[in-house]
Amino acid sequence: MDWIRYSDYEYEIDSEGSLYVKPKENASFSMYNPFNVANDLLIDFLKIGEAARVYFKNKDQAVYEELKRLVFLYAKKYGLLGLISASTYNYNVIGDEDVLLMKNNFIQQTERSIDVLTYMKLFTPFADKDDLSVMVYKNSVDLVKGEDSPKFYGKRPLVMDLIFSKFYAEKLDWIINFAGMLAEHFNQLLVYRASANYLTEHVTILADTFKANKIGFTINQLDKTTISWNFDSLKTTIEVIYAFAVTDENILLSRCEHCGDFYIALSNREKYCNPACRNRANVQKSRQRKSELEAQ
Ligand SMILES: [Zn+2]
């Protein structure tokens, strides 16, 4: 499944004072397959999540600015998350009367259902009628876009036409909320892994946080047999890549014991993200040993 990214993004504040990230007016789009860059996609996102965890604790303005920078770079590299689709039980969203929201959504909605036009406005606060409009015909619904972005003509849910539009925007806070949860999950996982010898039964970390309800796939055969995924959003894609990364014994998503960066380890015994960190950690250890000896 391909996802969309635009060549440039910008921040804009809506009438209620929320900060959104959205494609720049003159930006052009390109498509890519998230699974071809799965490791980077995940590790870059966990970096945002780690900064988010720090920000949730100290509300430091400098950390917030760093988050803005990281999310901007992430959007340029991989596009927006597609939360308009990932937060509902509805399949097409557009054309429905009401939207049924998932319980633990990251878009700060506490109601169970919301009128669809209000919901759409939440993700397109800067678009007017000429930019985007929903046309309701006798037997069908269509999304008309005043720009040139991919249209799927019913091959994919109608909401995809909206997500892939230049007028689709997401709040910085939503992205931070989801990234923070994922990093929190991984950190808890590392704590449990370290104490795995003491666990006597299954531990579920942050139960009910993953809501990847709308995953589809086909099994394809060419020179080898592959899974072709069908996702409703980049958010769901990140969740699934994460789930495989932490459970696949050949991937080993880890955290460097020296600098704290996330990386893919080659074996269980590897503790550092690169040789430089291993050297620095060893120097630190030998200095420590030396000063301990001198103190005796
Ligand atoms: Zn490191």
> Which residue segment(s) compose the domain that 277 sits in?
252-296
pLDDT range class, residue 152, cuts 50, 70, 90: confident
How far is the centre of ligand 1, averaged over its atoms, from the C-alpha of 182 (Å)? 20
Q: Ligand 1: distance of its center to the CA of 149 in Å?
A: 40
Question: Does residue 179 share a domain with residue 116?
Answer: yes
How far is the centre of ligand 1, averaged over its atoms, from the C-alpha of 287 (Å)?
19
271 in the same domain as 221: no
With b for 16 or more beta-carbon neighbours within 10 A and e for fewer, the 92-105 pattern comes to bbbbbeebebbeeb
**What torsion do the CA atoms of 144, 141, 31, 33 make, to the nearest 10 degrees?**
170
Residues 140 and 228 in one domain: yes
Ligand 1 centroid to Cα of residue 259, in Å, is 4
- How many angstroms separate the alpha carbon of residue 156 from the centre of ligand 1? 41
> 198-237 pLDDT, tens per residue?
777 888 888 778 877 788 888 999 899 988 888 899 999 9
Distance CA 242, CA 236 (A): 10
pLDDT digit string, tens, across residues 248-271: 877 788 889 999 888 888 777 788
Give the Å distance between the CA of 256 and the centre of ligand 1.
5
Q: Are residues 172 and 186 in the same domain?
A: yes
How far away, in angstroms, is 258 Cα from ligand 1 center?
5
Instruction: Tell me the CA–centroid distance for residue 46 and ligand 1, in Å.
Output: 15
Banded pLDDT at 177 (limits 50, 70, 90): very high
Ligand 1 center to 276 CA (angstroms): 8
Which residues, 6+ apart, have CB-to-CB distance to 164 below 8 Å?
Answer: 4, 29, 149, 150
Residues 44 and 167 in one domain: yes
**152 within 8 A of 217, measured Cβ to Cβ:** no
Task: State the distance from the centre of ligand 1 to the C-alpha of 261, rounded, in angstroms.
Answer: 6
Measured CA to CA, the distance from residue 68 to residue 17 in angstroms comes to 16
pLDDT on residue 103: 86
User: Do 112 and 49 have their domain in common?
Assistant: yes
Other CB atoms within a 10 A radius of the CB of residue 32 amount to 15
Query: Which one of 231, 249, 267 terminates a domain?
Result: 249
What's the 260 CA to ligand 1 centre distance in angstroms? 6
Distance from the alpha carbon of residue 248 to the mean position of ligand 1, in angstroms: 22
Name the residue among 234, 196, 193 with its Cα closest to residue 75: 234
Residues 208 and 266 in one domain: no
Strand, helix or coil for residue 234: helix
Task: Give pLDDT tens digits for 113-130.
Answer: 999 999 999 999 999 989
β-strands 132-136, 141-145 pairing = antiparallel
Q: How far is the CA of 95 from the centre of ligand 1 (A)?
A: 49
64 CA → ligand 1 middle, Å: 23
Number of domains in the chain: 2
Q: What residues contact residue 22 under an 8 Å CB cut-off, 6+ apart?
A: 9, 10, 12, 126, 166, 167, 168, 169, 170
Same domain for 176 and 191: yes
Q: Do 279 and 260 lie in a common domain?
A: yes
**Which residues does 178 contact at the CB level (< 8 Å), separation at least 6?**
81, 83, 106, 235
Dihedral angle, C-alpha 212, 217, 219, 221, nearest 10 °: -120
Query: How far away, in angstroms, is 247 Cα from ligand 1 center?
Result: 22
Q: 146 and 232 share a domain? A: yes
CA of 266 to the centre of ligand 1 (A): 14
Whether 80 and 167 share a structural domain = yes
Dist. CA 79 → ligand 1 center (Å): 27
Ligand 1 centre distance from Cα of residue 62 (Å): 22
For the stretch 68-90, pLDDT in tens is 999 999 999 999 999 999 999 99
Do 258 and 118 share a domain, yes or no? no
Q: Which of 147, 182, 186 is nearest to 164 (CA)?
A: 147
Tell how far the Cα of 275 is from the centroid of ligand 1, in angstroms: 8
pTM of the prediction?
0.90
Cα–Cα distances in angstroms (integers) from residue 208 to residues 42, 69, 151, 171, in the given order:
20, 30, 33, 23
Flag whether pLDDT at 195 surpasses 90.
no
